[in-house]
Structure 1
Amino acid sequence: MDKQKAWRRLEDTAQKDANLHLKGLLMQPGRFEQFSFRHDEILLDLSRQRLTSEVLDQLLSLAGSCHLDRWIDDLFSGAPVNQTERRPALHTALRYPPQHAFNLDGRDINSDVQSALSAMEVLVNQLHKQQWRGFSGEPIDTLVNIGVGGSDLGPMMVCHALEEFQPPRARAIQTHFISSMDGSQLSSLLQHLDPERTLFIVSSKSFTTADTLANAATARDWLKQASHMPEDLLLKRHFVGITACPDKAFEWGLAKENLLHFWDWVGGRYSLWSTIGFSIAVRIGMKGFRALLDGAWRMDEHFRHADWSQNLPVLLALTEIWNINFQHIHAHAILPYDGRLAHLPAYLEQLEMESNGKSVDRCGQPVSHRTCPVLWGEIGPNAQHAFYQLLHQGSEPVMCDFIVAASRYGKSSESLQSQHRLTLANCLAQARVLALGDDAIDQSSASPWQHYAGNQPSTLLLLDQLSPATLGALIALYEHKVFVQSVIWDINPFDQWGVELGKQMANTLLPHIGQAPSPGAFDKATDGLLAELYRVNQEETTP
C-alpha cells in the first residue's frame, strides 16, 4: 500500500469514528491489556488514547508505506539521514557498549567514543579525589556549566533528575548551569561563588556560539580580577572546554589537556550522551553515567529489533500521528508526576520542536499536513493548580503525557511514602477525569460550569523506578519517537535552520544598538525601536 492510500484510509476511519468517546472504549473487556506495552522497566499505557484495533493496524500500515524499516536501518548504520548537512546522525553510537565495534568510513568510531569517555573519566576522578586545584591551591568544589540549548538543557535535566544517585565523593561538588545571553544568571551566581574553587565548563559544539562565549568571557574576567596569575595558567586551572571544534577552543585560550571532544555527527539536542555529559558524570560518577548510556542502548536495541506492534517508540509516535493529523490535536502537555523530572518538559520542548518544527519536506517542498505540535509542560501536581483548567474545560483539545515512577521512598519515612501514594493517586485521577469527564465520578447534579466533557487523550508512562538506566531509556524512547514521526511526515529532524536567520540578523543589528538613528536602515518598526534605544541611552548619560 502506498502512503497516500494509507493516509486516506486513516482519514476515512477518523471520520467514521468521529463520535467515539473514551468512556465507551474504556468499557471494552481487555482494553488495558490490549493497549499497554512494556520494555524492561517502562510501561507504555495507550489505553486512554482514542485508538481501536482497526486504527492501530492502519497506523502500522502507514509506517510500512513510509519505509520506516529502511529509515531505521539508515539511522543506525551511519547513512547521511541529515541530508541538508550531508552527514549521519549517530547519537546512538555514543551508547554502544565498549566491546561493540562500529565502523564508519573505515574507522571504528566506537573506539573514538570510548577514548573520549576515558578522557572524561580522568577529569571526573581528579575532581572526585580533590586533585583538581584552583589558582590558590584549594580543591575545586564548584562546577559551572556554560552552554545553551542541548549543551545546557540535557545535562541540567539529567543532573537534577539523578541527584540522589551521587556517589559519596561527588556530594562535595556543587553544579550550576548558565545559559542566558544577558548575563543575568551568571552575574547573580558569581556573587556567591569562590573563584579559588570554581571550574567553568564551556560547552559548545562549534565554539562560536555567541551566548556561550559571552558568558565564558565574563567568567574569565571575574577570575582575572580575583587572581594575579597569567591568563594561560588561570584558564588551565579553571576552564574545561567541550567541543567538536578544538581549534576554536585553542584560539580562545583553553589548554589542550582540558579539552573534551565529540563529533559533528552528534546533534546538539542529542549530545548529553557524549562528553557534553561531563557535568552528569561528575554528579553521578562514571558508573552512573555508563548506566544511563546502557539504558538508552537497550532502548535502541528494542527500537531496532522489536516488532512494530510491540515497539514502544513506534507505537508512541504513531499514536501521536493519529492525534495530530487525524484528530486535529495540536497541543501537547508533558506532565511528570515526579519533582526530579522538573526539567524534562523543557528538554522535550527542544528535542521535539527543534527537530520536527518543519514545514518543508526532504525535497524542499511545502508539507501538506501538520507536523510538530506545540509542547509545554510542568510537574503534574504544580500544573494542576495552573493550566489543568484548560485541559479539563477549555476549548482547545490537548494530548497529555503523564510520567510517573511506580516505586519511590522505599526505605524512607512513612510520611514520604504517603506523599508518593498521594502523587500516584493524583496522576491516575487526572488521566481518568481527562478521559471520562463527568462519568469519572457522578456529576449528574452539576451546573454547566462544573461539566467535564472528557475524551481528552493521554498516554501514561509508568517507570518501575527512576534510575540512571530507566531515565536513559526514557530519553531514548522520546528520541526515537521523534525520528519515527519525521519519517511519516517526510521531514529532516536533524537540522535546525530555523534558528540561524535570527542569529545573523542580530549580528547585523548589533553595531546599530545605542548609536544615532539611521532612518531607512531597516524596516519602520526596527528603525523606530533603534531610535528609542538611542534616546533612552542619551537621557541616561546626559548630566
Structure 2
Amino acid sequence: MQAPAVPAVQQQQQHCPISVTSSGSRFTTPAVVQAFRLSSSCFFHSSSSSLRILRSRADQPLRRALSIPHHRIEAMASGQHAPISESAAWADLKQHVKTIEGTHLRNLMQDNNRCEELIKEYDGIVVDLSRQRVIHDTVDKLLNLAEEAKLKEKIDQMFDGVHINETENRSVLHAALRAPRDEVINCDGHNVVPAVWDVLDKIDAFSDQIRSGSWLGSTGKPLTDVVAIGIGGSFLGPLFVHTAMQTEPGCAQAAKGRRLRFLANVDPIDVARALLDLNQETTLVVIVSKTFTTAETMLNARTVRTWITSALGVEAVSKHMVAVSTNLKLVKEFGIDPANAFGFWDWVGGRYSVCSAVGVLPLALQYGFSHVKKFLQGAWSIDDHFRSAPLESNLPVLLGLMSVWNVSFLGCPARAILPYCQALAKLAPHIQQVSMESNGKGVSLDGVPLPFGTGEIDFGEPGTNGQHSFYQLIHQGRVIPCDFIGIIKSQQSVYLKGEQVSNHDELMCNFFAQADALAYGKTREELVAEKVPEALIPHKMFSGNRQSLSILLPNLTPYTVGQLLALYEHRVAVQGWIWGINSFDQWGVELGKSLAGKVRTQMNAARTKTQPLSGFNYSTTTLLTRYLQGKTQLLYPDPHDVFPSNVLPGFEK
C-alpha cells in the first residue's frame, strides 16, 4: 500500500478526518506520520479499522513517532474531540510567541495605527487593548483559534438553550434573567422569559410592600433592615452590586433609612457582625438556597430564626423571613409561607445568579425595583452585544481571547483586577469566583485530561490602595496581566479650593500612569541621566513590557454595573470554550464538603457519646483531638450566648 502524499492531506486537514488502515503492515513513513498529525486538528470520526494501527500494541513505533499519548488514542477511537492544543491554529500561535518575544511594548506603543485598532467601544464602554503584548497578526491568529473552537456556534448554542452544561445536562441561560419582556429565549422548547418576568414582577410588588410599609413585622413595625443569608454565588454577586450601588446618589437616596447586610460564613463571628445593632422587630431575613439544604446557609438560617423567635415568638417567622428557593416543601417546614418564596431555575448557576431573585430580591428591598431594573438592562446591553457582534469587535470575545493568549501562550497564570473606584471594592472577589470556579478545570468536556493548564488566579484591590500593597511585585517581580478599570464621572465629587485637581482626578492620574509604567518601564539610561547612584540603578530599573488592559466607564450607575458584570461573565465563558472545558459546573467543591460531613459526624459522636475518633490520618486525628480537648462546648446554648455582639466593643458594622 502506498502512503498518501502529504500535500493532499494538508488540503483537507481543516475539514475532514483521515483514515489510515492496515492490512498487516506497519506504517511509520514520514508521510503517514504527518498525515496523522495533521488529522489531529479535526474531529476524530473513526471506524473500527481507522485507528487499529494506533490502538494495537504492536504499533509502538508509530505511536512514538506521533507523540500521541495512550489516552488520546482511546479518545480518538471513541469519537471524542481533539484538544484545541492539537489544532493548527494553536500551533500557529505557539510559533508566533517567538515574534512577540522579540518586541517590547515600549516600541509597540509608538504605532498609533496599532493602538487605534486595539481600542474598542460599545454603548459607552471603552476597552483599550493596546498595552497587551499583541500585534495585528496576533489578533488575527487568536480569531482563527476562536473559529477552530467554533466560538460563534457556542455563543449561539448558549442563547438557544442548548444543554451546554453537559456534565449536569443543563442549559446555561443567565442572560435570560435580564432579557426584555418581548425577548424569546427557549429552554427545551419553551420561552423562559415570561417565567422570568413573573418572578421579577412578584419581587417588584413585594419589595414595594416592604419599602412602603404596607407589609409590617409581627409587632406592627415597618421592616427597614434586611439580612440576606446565602453563600458563594448567592452572596458574592449581590454583595458586589450592593457595594457598587450604595454610594450612587440616586440609589443612596432610595435607600435612605434602610440597611442591607449579607451573612455568608458559618463562623458565628459573621452572625454577630450581620446582626449587630439590629432589632428583630424591624428585620426581614432573606434565605437564599435553591434546594434549602445548603449546609452553611441553613445553619445560619436556623441560627437567625432562633434570634427572631427568642424575641418575637415562633409565629413571627412568617412575617420576618422569606426564601429564594425552589424547594417549597422544605420552605414550608422551616416556617415560611411558600407564597413568600421566590423561585429560580436549574439553568441558573450559582455564580451567575445575581440577576435572578438571588440578587434582585435583596437589592430591590434596599434600593427599589426601578434601580435594579436599570442594572438588569445594563447587563442585557452586553448580552445582546455578545450574541450579535462580530468576533473581531465583540468586547467579551476580545477580552477572553487576550486572557487565553496570556495564560496559554505567554505563561501568565494570574490576573490582577484593579478598579480605580472604591465602589467596586467587591468586584475582584466576585470575579474571582466567577472565573476560578468556572475555569479551574483539568479535563475537557469529554473527560480527557488536558495537556495544558486552564483558568487564572484572580485577585485585586481598588486603586490606589493596591499600589501600596502588591504593585511592587507586579512592577518588578512576576509578570501579572492587569485589568485597570476607571470611571470618567465619579459617584461623589470633591474638589477642594486651592488643589491642583479634584480628588477623583488624583485617583485617575494613577489609573493612567500605572498602565504606562507597566508597559514602558524605566531603563538604565534614563536612570543614569537622572544621576541615580550606580549602586541603586539595578534596584530602580523597571523592565516594562508588562501587559495590561484598560476599561473606561462613563460613570458608575446601576446600568454600567450591569454592563461590567456581564462583560466579565461572558469573557470567562469565552475562555472556557476556547480551552474546551465546561465553565458551568463546579465538581471541585464537592470533595471537601463530603469530608466535612465525616468530621461533623465524628465530632458529634466524640462530644455526645465520648466515642474515640477513627478513620482519619495521624495528622488530622492529632489536630482534631487538640481542638476537641481545648474547647468547652455548650451543646444547647441559650440563644443570647450565640450572639455575643454586646462583648464586641467597637465592632464595625
- Normalising by structure 1, we get a TM-score of 0.95
Aligned pair count reads 537
Q: Which has the higher contact order (CA 8 A, sep 6+)?
A: 1
- The CA distance in 2 between the partners of 1:538 and 1:301, in whole Å, is 57
Q: Which moved more, 1:348-357 or 1:244-253?
A: 244-253
Aligned equivalent of 1:294 = 377
Determine whether 1:207 maps to 2:292. yes
Aligned equivalent of 1:216 = 301
CA 1:56–1:96 in structure 2 vs 1: closer, same or farther (change >3 Å)? same
Q: For 1:244-393, list aligned pairs within 5 A.
A: 244-277=326-359, 278-393=361-476
- The 3-state SS of whatever aligns with 1:236 is helix
The aligned amino acid for 1:140 is L
CA 1:247–1:94 in structure 2 vs 1: closer, same or farther (change >3 Å)? same
Determine whether 1:531 maps to 2:625. yes
Report the alpha carbon displacement of residue 289 of structure 1 after superposing the two structures with TM: 1.3
Aligned equivalent of 2:522 = 438
CA 1:410–1:167 in structure 2 vs 1: closer, same or farther (change >3 Å)? closer
CA contact (8 A) 1:102 1:108 kept: yes
Aligned equivalent of 1:61 = 144
CA 1:439–1:423 in structure 2 vs 1: closer, same or farther (change >3 Å)? farther
Aligned equivalent of 2:571 = 481
- The CA distance in 2 between the partners of 1:132 and 1:105, in whole Å, is 38
Q: For 1:6-17, list aligned pairs within 5 A.
A: 6-17=89-100
- The CA distance in 2 between the partners of 1:519 and 1:247, in whole Å, is 36
Give a deviation string over 1:245-300, Cα, whole Å, max 9, x none: 32332222211221111111100111111111211222332121111111111111
Please, which of 225, 229, 237 is the counterpart of residue 310 of structure 2? Answer: 225
Aligned equivalent of 1:142 = 225
CA 1:537–1:31 in structure 2 vs 1: closer, same or farther (change >3 Å)? same
- The CA distance in 2 between the partners of 1:31 and 1:398, in whole Å, is 23
Give a deviation string over 1:34-90, Cα, whole Å, max 9, x none: 111001011110000001001110000000001111111110000000000001011
- The 3-state SS of whatever aligns with 1:358 is coil
Please, which of 549, 557, 565 is the counterpart of residue 459 of structure 1? Answer: 549
Q: For 1:107-186, list aligned pairs within 5 A.
A: 107-163=190-246, 164=248, 165-166=250-251, 168-186=253-271
Report the alpha carbon displacement of residue 503 of structure 1 after superposing the two structures with TM: 0.7
The aligned amino acid for 1:340 is A
CA contact (8 A) 1:517 1:530 kept: no
CA contact (8 A) 1:332 1:373 kept: yes
CA contact (8 A) 2:380 2:563 kept: yes
- The 3-state SS of whatever aligns with 1:333 is strand
The aligned amino acid for 2:514 is Q
CA contact (8 A) 1:330 1:397 kept: no
CA 1:285–1:103 in structure 2 vs 1: closer, same or farther (change >3 Å)? same
Report the alpha carbon displacement of residue 535 of structure 1 after superposing the two structures with TM: 2.5
CA contact (8 A) 1:128 1:170 kept: no
CA 1:36–1:508 in structure 2 vs 1: closer, same or farther (change >3 Å)? same
Aligned equivalent of 2:507 = 423
- Normalising by structure 2, we get a TM-score of 0.79
The aligned amino acid for 1:74 is Q
- The 3-state SS of whatever aligns with 1:380 is coil
Report the alpha carbon displacement of residue 104 of structure 1 after superposing the two structures with TM: 2.6
Report the alpha carbon displacement of residue 169 of structure 1 after superposing the two structures with TM: 4.8
- The CA distance in 2 between the partners of 1:156 and 1:56, in whole Å, is 35
Structure 2 stretches lacking a partner, 5+ long: 1-13, 15-40, 42-83, 636-653
Larger Rg: 2
Give a deviation string over 1:212-268, Cα, whole Å, max 9, x none: 1111111111111112x3x2x311110010013323322222112211111111001
- The CA distance in 2 between the partners of 1:287 and 1:66, in whole Å, is 40
CA 1:530–1:539 in structure 2 vs 1: closer, same or farther (change >3 Å)? same
- The CA distance in 2 between the partners of 1:152 and 1:71, in whole Å, is 29
Give a deviation string over 1:324-347, Cα, whole Å, max 9, x none: 111000111000000000000000
Please, which of 586, 590, 594 is the counterpart of residue 496 of structure 1? Answer: 586
- The 3-state SS of whatever aligns with 1:366 is coil
Q: Which moved more, 1:484-493 or 1:415-424?
A: 415-424
CA contact (8 A) 2:162 2:187 kept: no
CA contact (8 A) 1:35 1:47 kept: yes
CA 1:519–1:275 in structure 2 vs 1: closer, same or farther (change >3 Å)? closer
Give a deviation string over 1:492-517, Cα, whole Å, max 9, x none: 01100100111111111112226257
- The CA distance in 1 between the partners of 2:394 and 2:263, in whole Å, is 37
Determine whether 1:44 maps to 2:127. yes
Q: Which moved more, 1:400-409 or 1:372-381?
A: 400-409
RMSD after superposition: 2.0
- The 3-state SS of whatever aligns with 1:405 is strand
- The CA distance in 1 between the partners of 2:434 and 2:400, in whole Å, is 14
The aligned amino acid for 1:144 is V
Report the alpha carbon displacement of residue 103 of structure 1 after superposing the two structures with TM: 3.3
- The 3-state SS of whatever aligns with 2:322 is strand
Give a deviation string over 1:506-531, Cα, whole Å, max 9, x none: 11111222625746511121122222
The aligned amino acid for 1:255 is D
- The 3-state SS of whatever aligns with 2:416 is strand
CA contact (8 A) 2:602 2:613 kept: no
Q: Which moved more, 1:415-424 or 1:307-316?
A: 415-424
CA contact (8 A) 1:393 1:452 kept: yes
Please, which of 64, 68, 71 is the counterpart of residue 154 of structure 2? Answer: 71
- The CA distance in 2 between the partners of 1:440 and 1:409, in whole Å, is 41
